[in-house]
Amino acid sequence: MGLLENIQSPDDLRRLTPTESVEVAAEIREFLVQSVSRTGGHLGPNLGVVELTIGMHRVFSSPKDTFIFDTGHQSYVHKLLTGRQSFGDLRTRDGLSGYPSRSESVHDVVENSHASTALSWADGIAKANVVRGLTDRHVVAVIGDGALTGGMAWEALNNIAAGHDRRLIMIVNDNGRSYAPTIGGMAHHLDTLRTTRGYETFLDWGKRTLRRSGLPGRFAYDALHGLKKGIKDVVAPQGMFEDLGIKYVGPVDGHDIEAVERSLVRARAFGGPVLVHVITEKGRGYSPAEQDVADRFHAVGRIHPETGLPLAPSRFGWTKVFADEIVTIGRARPDVVAITAAMLAPVGLAPFEKEFPGRTFDVGIAEQHAATSAAGMAFAGLHPVVALYATFLNRAFDQVLMDVALHKAGVTFVLDRAGITGDDGASHNGMWDMAMLRIVPGLHLAAPRDEETLRAALRSAMDIDDAPSVVRYPKGPVGDAIPAVDVLDGVDVVRRTDVEQSGSDAPVVLPAPDGSSTSPRRVLLVGIGSMATTALEVCDILAAHGVTATVVSPTWVLPMPPVLTKLAGEHELVVTLEDGLAEGGIGALLGERVLAAGVGTPVLTVGLPTAFLDHASRDQIVTANRLTAPDVARDAIDWLARSRQG
């Protein structure tokens, strides 16, 4: 039996000897590689914080001392040390979350997996401790060097610096990466700190030299003052933090448990805000991750633990379509530039950056800056393409509204992983975008259904130069092509049925409003984006029950095509299907337009509830929220039956 199996709480960890702590670190690495290779998850970040997390739990006393992990994907080690070693169901429904979760443990505080927020949380908790007179506890926030590129982190630092009586320890986990190598001025600053001998080491040497010099007191004082200033300016870039009033400790070898513990004990004793600079290596101890320069091990699917290679190759996905098309567009349009927020490869911009390095800008984890910087580029004659995960656009809504839309800036936002993503939980589902963006004046939004409509939408977006445009698509592989059988004022009709086409031997013909038992009912199905496939399946089920249907798939849903209102008037029921919010989404907007036009056709909106969805697979979320084709068809048939009775 290994030592790790006997650790059910941090108290058990604190009873270990230093040698045993090193043994536990090795066991944790082996556990993570074997476990995460079977389930998928964030492997590299957790391998990099093993010793750091052990040191934190040996020096501080969670949950009395509050631990906050920025982003939270590096909390697997923390889970193991707080009694959660059942990793077989990691990131699956009813299993362990891939992020901190209050429902799992009192040791978890912040569940949000968006970056750069930890220091603000820590500032608020530390202030509350002071107000409540709780002087016997500390707040410990772990933030990566990548997250320090986010503006919110610096807003927090500005406020933390003003609270000299707050027991707050900020651990900068500096591995030089987020999804990709960290960029910007902060990255250069940390680089300098990594490679420069400590300020205090030089100062101690200077003090000893002055004491031996025999200079009179006043001259020695002046010399010491000048020495401090000179050393600080030349060899102590940590002065940036100390000038703010934040004590700096480091750099510290984050893979030396005893060094980590000594630094944290020192920080704990200071009694005010302290920044502990810890140097770590992402993927530490796992050769495939250590040798990987593309950071493929930040998050992995199921892999071979020995080689790190995927168990099954991924199918051609939406992101790859975008990656290919944006390069084609870039070759034809020298004014097109690309912007990413520390996710060059995940959003598919790596090929564009390789071919057009001078036209690609990684702004760090700073979506707000990305949006407003893009507005500036548009004003200066470029057409910026800002590629983000859909969930992260939430952070820049004000900039989309007031900096881009208000100024009629021709900026295109490409939203990867829109809709249901599933296993990463509530904060990663890209389900908010359409409901959020439909209130932005003048904004154009495309929800393509297949590869060809995605490519066409991207090309069309490049021609919109007087308003923001958005192209959104889901996570995962691209489905089969869904060709249009007709086009009505820009809206694709992808199927029409009548009773004869149903293929049913004895179709159930629901009575029409006039009481006729032979007239089939007519339903308009509006499949938005990837939900067009579900709409086609619903159409088949309805046909088998004698219900005729028209299936349309509008690529551009904002501004809403007027023909949809006209089509609604030609049917007895409209059913809209989307993988965003049902309340306030595109279907709800169509319902408002139909009502305002005096069209009496009811609109049944099918989408996600206004709720935070627990981590689960996409199929499980679809089933739980009755978004499957049989569920939607049943609801439509039930409505038609009730309308006859009414």
166 is catalytic: no
Q: How confident is the model at residue 41 (pLDDT cuts 50, 70, 90)?
A: confident
Query: Over the range 187-223, which residues count as b (16 or more CB within 10 Å of their CB) and which as e?
Result: bebbeebeeeebbeebbeebeeebeeeeeeeeeeeee
Q: Catalytic: which of 261, 325, 367, 572?
A: 367
pLDDT value of position 249: 86
Q: How confident is the model at residue 220 (pLDDT cuts 50, 70, 90)?
A: low
| Residue 559, preceding peptide bond in cis (omega within 30° of 0) | yes
Residue intervals of the chain classified under CATH 3.40.50.920 are: 486-645
Q: 5 Cβ partners below 8 Å, 6+ apart?
A: 85
Q: What string of DSSP letters covers 2-26?
A: -SGGG-SSHHHHHTS-HHHHHHHHH
* 89 conformational bin, left if phi > 0, alpha if psi -120 to 50, beta if neither: alpha
Lowest average pLDDT, out of 230-244, 261-275, 312-326, 425-439, goes to 230-244
* pTM beyond 0.85: no
Q: Catalytic: which of 29, 58, 282, 296?
A: 282
642 is catalytic: no
pLDDT value of position 608: 92
Residue intervals of the chain classified under CATH 3.40.50.970 are: 4-179+246-290, 318-472
Q: How would you write 417-482 as a 3-class SS string?
A: CCECCCCCCHHHCECCHHHHHCCCCCCEEECCCCHHHHHHHHHHHCCCCCCCEEEECCCCECCCCC
Q: Could you tell me which residues are annotated as the binding site?
A: 73, 113-115, 145-147, 175, 286, 367
Strands 247-253 and 168-174: unpaired
In tens, the pLDDT along 257-281 reads: 999 999 999 999 988 899 999 888 8
pLDDT over 90 percentage in the chain: 50
In tens, the pLDDT along 47-70 reads: 888 999 999 999 999 999 999 998
More confident residue, 419 or 562: 562
Question: For 4-179+246-290, CATH number?
Answer: 3.40.50.970
Question: For 486-645, CATH number?
Answer: 3.40.50.920
Instruction: Indicate whether 501 pLDDT > 70.
Output: no
395 is catalytic: yes
In tens, the pLDDT along 150-189 reads: 888 888 888 888 877 889 999 998 886 544 555 555 555 5
Average pLDDT, the chain: 84
How large is the average pLDDT for residues 233-254? 68
Lowest average pLDDT, out of 438-447, 455-464, 506-515, goes to 506-515
pLDDT value of position 503: 44
How large is the average pLDDT for residues 410-436? 87
Instruction: Indicate whether 325 pLDDT > 90.
Output: yes
Q: How confident is the model at residue 91 (pLDDT cuts 50, 70, 90)?
A: confident
How large is the average pLDDT for residues 619-623? 87
How large is the average pLDDT for residues 501-519? 45
pLDDT value of position 234: 42
How large is the average pLDDT for residues 25-54? 86
pLDDT value of position 208: 62
Instruction: Indicate whether 108 pLDDT > 70.
Output: yes
More confident residue, 476 or 210: 476
pLDDT value of position 298: 64
Q: How confident is the model at residue 622 (pLDDT cuts 50, 70, 90)?
A: confident
Instruction: Indicate whether 106 pLDDT > 70.
Output: yes
Q: Catalytic: which of 29, 79, 247, 395?
A: 395
* Distances from the Cα of 292 to the Cα of 57, 125, 132, 311, 353, angstroms: 30, 38, 48, 18, 19
Backbone angles phi, psi at 90, to 5 degrees: -55, 130
Nearest 10 degrees: Cα torsion 593, 599, 600, 601 = -70
* Distances from the Cα of 127 to the Cα of 66, 93, 118, 138, 419, angstroms: 13, 36, 14, 11, 37
Q: Could you tell me which residues are annotated as the binding site for Mg(2+)?
A: 145, 175
Q: Could you tell me which residues are annotated as the binding site for thiamine diphosphate?
A: 73, 113-115, 146-147, 175, 286, 367
In tens, the pLDDT along 275-294 reads: 999 888 877 766 666 666 55
Instruction: Indicate whether 455 pLDDT > 90.
Output: yes
Lowest average pLDDT, out of 305-309, 429-433, 501-505, 530-534, goes to 501-505
Lowest average pLDDT, out of 220-229, 246-255, 545-554, goes to 220-229
pLDDT value of position 504: 42
Give the CATH number of domain 318-472; options: 3.40.50.2000, 3.40.190.10, 3.20.20.10, 3.40.50.970.
Answer: 3.40.50.970
pLDDT value of position 297: 62
Structure token digits, residue 576: 């809209």
Instruction: Indicate whether 516 pLDDT > 60.
Output: no
pLDDT value of position 614: 82
